[in-house]
Amino acid sequence: MTPMASGATVEQAEWEERAGILFSPALASRGVVAGFTTRALGSMGGRATPPDEASERRAAVAARLGFDAVVRTKQVHGETVVRADGPFETWPEADGMWTGRAGVLLGIVAADCVAVLAADDEGRIGAAHAGWEGTSRQIARRLIGSLRAAGADPSRIVAALGPSIGPCCYTIGGERARVVQERLGDLGGGTIVERDGELVFDLWKANVAQLREDGVGRIEVSGTCTKSGGRELWSYRGRESSERGSGLGLAFIGRITPGASPPRSPRLAEDPP
């Protein structure tokens, strides 16, 4: 852990795989179930996946983790955060959601975008979807703002950035870089660098800067690149061109209802793949 000027600690910790799901150690220590599915469990959404198949797979993940369902929204690369105390009948357009309710599993689908997952110590949890659009529109800060408005003390929030396209691989064009820098202002310092004649956008650094700015006490970065990180993850930009855009992983966070039957996640290692 590196103590930062803001008082936040920022740590890199590889998420631990159990039977096709990577779990966040920092959020596990906070008593919540939070992670990201690998390709082994199939695509969890996206245009190339039949909706009923994706829905069944998400339901299976929820059941394995000890939840009834995964709460989903229609992700539009925007900056809206909604309260989600249970599954929506009609998915609202939103890239962030939060709840104070146990037994609710919040889900974000992503291939290369960052999933920002957060939990305080009083039962509030949140999730946000941050690609270059969401990151530049500061969806992470909107999420922390929503949690704070609901009563959370940011210094007691643990936030984790899931696997996503890393600074090793994420090159962007000049026009996009200009938009990002304009939107991020001072918070964008050092997040776009030139390397071998190309512009590289560090989504992890940009989201960490936002979380620190809002006073989040502990920040974990999985540091795993979806394209080159060596794990079996869905990547929009990675792998074979025929597979590009073919699938999405599910990032999730939830708190088991106190007194409910224990989550099945500890036994995941014994499940068939």
| DSSP per-residue string spanning 28-65 | HHTT-EEEEE-GGG---SSTTS-HHHHHHHHHHHHHHH
Verify binding: residue 166, Zn ion, rule CB under 5 A.
Answer: yes
- Least distance in angstroms from the C-beta of 113 to Zn ion: 14
Verify binding: residue 225, Zn ion, rule CB under 5 A.
Answer: yes
Residues 6+ apart with CB under 8 A from 244: 236, 237, 238
**Among 68, 167, 72, 159, which Cα is nearest to 112's?**
167
Number of chain residues interacting with Zn ion (CB under 5 A): 6
- Least distance in angstroms from the C-beta of 230 to Zn ion: 10
Verify binding: residue 171, Zn ion, rule CB under 5 A.
Answer: no
| DSSP per-residue string spanning 182-210 | HHHGGGGTTTEEEETTEEEE-HHHHHHHH
- Select the residue interacting with Zn ion from 9, 55, 155, 228 (CB under 5 A): 228
Our CB check for Zn ion shows the closer of 162 and 166 to be 166
Q: Is 127 in a helix, a strand, or coil?
A: strand
Verify binding: residue 58, Zn ion, rule CB under 5 A.
Answer: no
- Least distance in angstroms from the C-beta of 165 to Zn ion: 7
Q: Token pair for residue 262?
A: 């224990």
The stretch among 4-12, 133-141, 169-177, 184-192 that binds Zn ion (CB under 5 A) is 169-177
Strand-pair partners of 126: 98, 118
- Least distance in angstroms from the C-beta of 260 to Zn ion: 38
- Select the residue interacting with Zn ion from 1, 4, 63, 168 (CB under 5 A): 168
- Least distance in angstroms from the C-beta of 15 to Zn ion: 16
In the sheet where 2-3 sits, what is the strand order? 2-3, 9-12, 218-221, 158-161, 114-119, 125-130, 96-99, 81-83
Q: Is 151 in a helix, a strand, or coil?
A: coil
The stretch among 48-56, 160-168, 172-180, 258-266 that binds Zn ion (CB under 5 A) is 160-168
Verify binding: residue 109, Zn ion, rule CB under 5 A.
Answer: no
- Select the residue interacting with Zn ion from 227, 236, 254, 256 (CB under 5 A): 227
- Scanning the structure block, which residue is given the tokens 């050092």? 190
Verify binding: residue 4, Zn ion, rule CB under 5 A.
Answer: no
- Least distance in angstroms from the C-beta of 43 to Zn ion: 20
Verify binding: residue 111, Zn ion, rule CB under 5 A.
Answer: no
- Least distance in angstroms from the C-beta of 223 to Zn ion: 10
What's the N-to-C CA distance of the chain in angstroms? Answer: 34
Residues in contact with Zn ion by CB under 5 A are: 166, 168-169, 225, 227-228
